[in-house]
Amino acid sequence: MSRLRKSPWILLSISICAILFRLYSLQIDPDPRVRSQAGSQYWARLRVTAPRGCIRDKNGISLALSTPALSFFIDPTLWDTANAPLLQDLIPQSRLERISSPIDGRYFLIARKIEPETADKIAGLKLPGLFWVKETRRVYPQGNTLAHVLGYCDVDDVGLAGLELFWDSVLYAPPEGRIIAKDARGNFVDVAIPGQSIVAENDGSVQLTIDSRLQHILERRLREGLMLNKAEWAAAIILEPGSGRILGMASLPDFNPNDRNTFKDKESLRNNVTSRVFEPGSTFKPIIMGNVIDNGEISKQDTFNCQGKIKVSDVVIHDIKAHGTIDASRIIADSCNVGMVLSIRNSDPFQTYSYLKRCGFGEVSGIEIPGEESGLLAPPSQWRGSVPATIAIGHGIGVTPLQLAVATGSIANGGKIMKPFIVSEVRGKDGSLKYTGKPEVVAEVLSESTAEWLRSAMRKAVLSGTGKTADVPGASVAGKTGTAQVPGGGGYQKGAYSPSFVGFWPSENPRFLLLVILGNPSSGDFLGGKVAAPVFRNIVQDIEQIS
Amino acid sequence: MNGHAMELTCTGRRPIKGSGSVCILVCAGVVAILMGLVALRLYSLNMEYKLAEIQRQIVTREEEQSRLEKDLASLLNPTRVYSYARSELGMRASANIGLVKVAGPRDIVLADNGKASPGTGKLREVLARLVDTITGKASARQ
């Protein structure tokens, strides 16, 4: 009797225990198949790109950054092809045609990283089977500005050119698998799992030595010069001669990294400052003159007789006019070819070659940009006949504008070749400091006194020589013109020139060094003093107003 | 004997009655615990929802910050500023600009019978530094 009375409670207890056990087995430790099934119903793992690190100028203004963008895809098993016309003009036509008919599989991408305005329109349609995921898109807010230096990325945000390529290991964050919740209807709900960050972090950054304001001046004035003189290409670089810090670098034609249609012209993708090799012409004379004076091959007071032309081996080297009796400083100021040839008569080719190597010619400078050319400097064993003479006037040698600017910088800073740098600081993905750009002396190639004398000679070139059009009253500009012929077809192309001007200011204690080159102008003028020097002057005027 | 036996029987029933009450109490306790668990689960769901909402807001704000940063960079673009100044404000760049360098305080030669007094110069320098420190205008003076 008592057992019967006890039995309901026992049964109830057993039932409760059974329910509790079942609850535990279902809720706490379910069968793996159940777990998998439930997981696929409520959660989905998607592959999304993480934001790339920022590139900023010296004042912290963003030059390249990643902004949110949406990518849309459809699940063909849930997609109704009748809805395709609703996406007209919102997605690419080829994709629209594709989703207008049945597709196999569970995933079909219809639009990648599109603008927020368009994305909002598509999302607002709320079409069954249409899903979206957040990604990031590389944006260059200043458009064409500094495009050659910044470079660009592919659609997966992998760096392909410029700083984007050079510092890809720091800027690029690999794609991440992202867990996204689904609601009962299978729509994605962008809610993170608690404890897991919804946004991939990337504190990587590259800070440049470039000043956006100087860069703008450089590009604007260079573009004006290019259009006025109908030149094929142009390049300009401004740097601090005392440190090698690059403040601006412009190359034309250029492109807009936000618009891939501007990538079609291969010439526009070339950075003419670091990747174009040209014969420098007379802008090379101060560099050679510094060597012969430092070696004692001539003295600063020596005079030479220029009769307008001179025969060297089987070549006749001409001047624009006969300069008559001319001293070393006037050779620079008046850009006398004959005087230069006479000055290097006793030079040792091996010593000159060694000097030019120490100046950085024939070698890459090591600037933090990919694609730098080393130039062309033949070994001294090949310097036969007229070669030493032509090199003295800036022909028979190929240099990049960057090399020429750095070598001229040694005149401005007292004889030191400084390693050029364009990156001031690089931080890794975790924000730690990875690299710091700082002044580095590569070689000492001139004595202080020779450098000072060359500065005064180049000042004379601006005051009373070939570079008068570069003068800016009050700025004390010193510089040198160059009008180089363009090699081609085994000789020099007829009527093709590369006028240039390299200078620094103030001449007593230079703060800035600027080089301007315009390639193959076709408007009529081709002399450095008439084509490049005015552009130089305009840039100096603009910079002096803001510096 | 019987009375004793009855007493024993009655004594034997009492634990059965007591165990029933305990069972009821246990069941009530279990139910209460289960309801508590359910309530806790509901509470945690509510907290998860709030957390997700906050995270969603963080993401929205971060996206907004990215867009604002992009807009700021676009607005600070010197090319845009220059174009705006020319087209909207009608500003024009001056031609043939001459520069006049104004000497800084250290370059000024003090008039003292045609000679600079080293003592006065030092005093001026100290005073200038003091003023700079107080006003924070060193860069402006330079």
Residue B51's pLDDT is what? 84
In a domain, A30, yes or no: no
Instruction: Enter the tokens of residue A64.
Output: 């390249």
Instruction: Judge contact between A536 and A237, C-beta under 8 A.
Output: no
Nearest to A223 by CA among A258, A268, A265: A268
Closest residue by Cα to residue A467 from A334, A268, A319: A334
Nearest residue in chain B measured CA to CA from A199: B59
Is A506 a member of any domain? yes
Q: Do A127 and A242 fall into the same domain? A: no
Count structural domains, chain A: 2
Q: Are residues A128 and A242 in the same domain?
A: no
* Per-residue pLDDT at A313: 86
Residues of chain A with pLDDT under 70: 1-6, 42-49, 178-200
| pLDDT score of A184 | 64
- Which backbone phi and psi does A36 adopt, to 5 degrees? -65, -45
Residues A173 and A248 in one domain: no
Query: B60 is written with which tokens?
Result: 């929205």
Please indicate, yes or no, whether residues A179 and A276 belong to a single structural domain of this protein.
no
CA–CA dist A369, A161 (Å, integer): 9
Q: How far is CA A163 from CA A152, A166, B61, in A?
A: 8, 5, 29
Q: A192 and chain B: CB distance < 8 Å anywhere?
A: yes
In angstroms, the Cα distances linking B49 to B44, B46, B52, B53, B56 are: 8, 5, 5, 6, 10
Considering only CB atoms, B77 lies closest to which of A68, A141, A541, namely A141
pLDDT value of position A160 = 94
Residue A83 lies in a domain: yes
CATH number at residue A178: 3.90.1310.10
pLDDT tops 50 at residue B137: no
Are A198 and A226 contained in the same domain?
no
Residue B118 has pLDDT above 70, yes or no: no
Confidence of residue B36 (pLDDT cuts 50, 70, 90): very high
Of residues A446, A452, A431, the one with CA closest to residue A355: A446
Q: Which two tokens stand for residue A349?
A: 């080719």
Rounded CA-CA distance A364/A274 in Å is: 9
pLDDT digits (tens, 9 = 90+) for B54-63: 878 887 888 8
Asked if the structure places residue A25 within a domain, the reply is no
Average pLDDT over residues B115-133: 59
Of A189, A208, A227, which residue sits at a domain end? A208
pLDDT for B18 beyond 80: no
Please check whether residue A440 is in contact with residue A360, taking contact to mean a CB–CB distance below 8 angstroms. Answer: no
pLDDT of residue B110 exceeding 70: no
Return the closest-CA partner of residue A330 out of A136, A465, A179. A465
Instruction: Mark yes or no for CB contact A145/B77 under 8 Å.
Output: yes
Q: Is A142 on the interface with B (CB under 8 A)?
A: yes
Say whether both A277 and A322 belong to one domain.
yes
Query: CATH number for the domain including A286?
Result: 3.40.710.10
Closest partner CB to B70 (pick from A65, A192, A212): A65
Q: Are residues A241 and A204 in the same domain?
A: no
**Residue A108 within any structural domain of the chain:** yes
The verdict on A237 and A123 lying in the same domain is no
What are A304-351's pLDDT values in tens digits? 999 999 999 888 999 988 999 999 999 999 999 999 999 998 899 999
Q: Within a 13 Å sphere around the CA of A396, how many CA atoms are in the beta-carbon half?
A: 18
* Parent domain of A141: 44-208
Q: Do A298 and A457 form a contact (C-beta atoms < 8 A)?
A: no
Task: Indicate whether A517 belongs to any domain.
Answer: yes
- Contact A216/B82, CB-based, under 8 Å? yes
Closest chain A C-alpha to B104 CA, distance in angstroms: 15
- A230 and A185 co-located in one domain: no
Q: Is there a single domain that holds both residue A241 and residue A347?
A: yes
pLDDT tens-digit map of A260-307: 899 988 899 999 999 999 999 999 999 999 999 999 999 999 999 999
Q: Which contiguous run of DSSP H or E holds residue A48?
A: strand A43-48
**Can the peptide bond before residue A506 be classed as cis, meaning omega within 30 degrees of 0?**
yes
Do B27 and A198 count as a contact with CB atoms less than 8 A apart? no
Same domain assignment for residues A235 and A109: no
A380 shares its domain with A478: yes
Residue A95 belongs to a domain: yes
Q: State the Cα torsion B112-B114-B118-B124 to the nearest 10°.
A: 50
Residue A6, domain member (yes or no): no
